Structure 1
Amino acid sequence: MENKVLKIIFTLFIGVMVALFVGLGIEAFYPSPVYPDIMWQENMTTDQEAALQAAQTAYDEAVSVRYQIVSIVVTAVAVIIMLASMFLEKRNLTLTNGLLLGGLFSLIYGSTVGFSAGSAMVTFITVGVGLAAVVVVGVRRFGPSREAREAAKP
Structure 2
Amino acid sequence: MTAQRDLGQSMLQVIFSFFLGLVVTAFIGIGVNTFYPEPSYSSGSDRDWNTYRLTTSIVLLICATVVMLLSLAITRTGSVLANGALLGGLFTMIYAVGMGISAGQQWPRFLVMAVALVITVAVGWWRFSRRSVAPAPTASAGGVLPGEAEDRLAAVEAKLDALGRALRD
Of 19, 35, 48 in structure 2, the residue corresponding to residue 13 of structure 1 is 19
Residue number in structure 1 paired with 2:8:
2
Residue number in structure 1 paired with 2:46:
60
Higher helix share: 1
Of 43, 50, 57 in structure 2, the residue corresponding to residue 71 of structure 1 is 57
Distance 1:108 1:27 in 2: 16
Of 80, 90, 103 in structure 2, the residue corresponding to residue 94 of structure 1 is 80
- State the one-letter code of the partner of 1:89: T
Residue number in structure 1 paired with 2:142:
none
| 1:30 paired to 2:68 | no
User: What's the offset of the Cα at 1:122?
Assistant: 2.0
1:88-133 per-position Cα deviation (integer Å, ceiling 9, x unaligned): 1000100010000010000010010011111122221112111111
Distance 2:91 2:109 in 1: 16
What is the total number of aligned residue pairs between the two structures? 130
Distance 1:102 1:80 in 2: 11
SS in 2 for 1:147: coil
| 1:108 paired to 2:114 | no
Of 114, 118, 129 in structure 2, the residue corresponding to residue 128 of structure 1 is 114
User: What's the offset of the Cα at 1:66?
Assistant: 0.7
Give the TM-score of the pair, scaled to structure 2: 0.72
Distance 1:28 1:105 in 2: 19
Long gaps (5+) in structure 1: 37-54
Is 76-85 or 119-128 further displaced after alignment?
Answer: 119-128
Residue number in structure 2 paired with 1:139:
125
Give the TM-score of the pair, scaled to structure 1: 0.79
- State the one-letter code of the partner of 2:20: I
User: What's the offset of the Cα at 1:9?
Assistant: 0.3
1:61-84 per-position Cα deviation (integer Å, ceiling 9, x unaligned): 211111110011100110111011
Distance 2:71 2:122 in 1: 12
Is 2-11 or 128-137 further displaced after alignment?
Answer: 128-137
Identity %: 36
- State the one-letter code of the partner of 2:53: Y
After superposing on structure 2, the runs of 4+ consecutive aligned residues of structure 1 that deviate more than 3 Å are: none
